[in-house]
A = this chain, B = another copy of it.
Amino acid sequence: MSEGHEHENSAPATEAARRREPKALRREQLINATIDSLAKRGYAATTLADVADGAGLSRGIVNFHFASKENLLAETIRFLQDEYTANWQATVKKAAPDTASQLLAMVTADLDKKICTHRKLAAWFALIAEARSKPAYHEMAWERDAKYRSTLTSICKLAKEEGDYAFDPQSTADAIYAMQEGLWLRMMLFGRGYKREAALGVVLDTLCTIFPMHFAIDK
């Protein structure tokens, strides 16, 4: 029964119990199997048979729950994007209200242990690289960025006033966000060679350089 990469779902125990699980749970199970397959095999090599096998279910199951492969992938990208957005917004809300804490919350949220796994990064990049042509995915990726970036820009504007910095706040926000995406890309590509902690170090050092009045160098 325990093959490969099972998840936090409590085991279904009996066949009867498994069947009673609600529809939403089964969908999430299939989405998780999809993420696994995307991460392990890539977009092109991800087949519905892989997904079904990964979830320990039979061949026709995906079309029953998602109607089509395309729809499954769309739901998967939405799942990842919702998780991402919920995470950084919660982290920012929890943080202290001063500018430095808010900024720190924004950048560390993106490198959170829950979000920033090799598995999810690989799946995310596989999807957006491929989905570029499809308008539906495109919109989702844009939306994901837009919210985060506008918040980041506001904080940079505030920091500029407080610290009397010379930088252009829009450029600075763009640069920080681009840096994060670049670090994700590195972690995705060189999973074993470039860890979350290293990326976090780079980000913190950079904050010290750009916002010296808000962050001190503590080594």
- Residue numbers of A with Cβ under 8 A of B are 40-45, 122, 125-126, 128-133, 138, 141-142, 165-168, 171-172, 174-175, 177-183, 185-186, 188-190, 193, 201-203, 205-206, 208-210, 212, 217
Contacts and interface: CB of A to CB of B under 8 A. Distances in A.
Nearest to A209: B167
Contacts of A175: 179, 202-203, 205-206
A60 to B, nearest CB: 22
Contacts of A44: 43-44, 130
Contacts of A125: 125, 129
A40 B44 CA distance: 16
Contacts of A40: 133
Which has the most chain B C-beta neighbours within 10 Å: A43, A131, A189?
Answer: A189
B132 A122 contact: yes
17 contacts: A40-B133, A41-B133, A42-B129, A42-B131, A43-B130, A126-B130, A130-B130, A166-B208, A171-B205, A172-B205, A178-B180, A178-B182, A178-B185, A178-B202, A179-B182, A181-B182, A181-B186
B185 A181 contact: yes
Nearest to A219: B168
When A and B form their complex, which 6 residue pairs have the shortest distance between CB atoms, in order from nearest? A178-B182, A181-B182, A129-B129, A171-B205, A182-B182, A175-B206
Given A42-B129, A166-B212, A174-B202, 15 more contacts: A42-B130, A42-B133, A43-B130, A122-B132, A126-B130, A138-B189, A166-B208, A167-B208, A171-B201, A178-B182, A178-B186, A182-B183, A182-B185, A209-B209, A210-B210
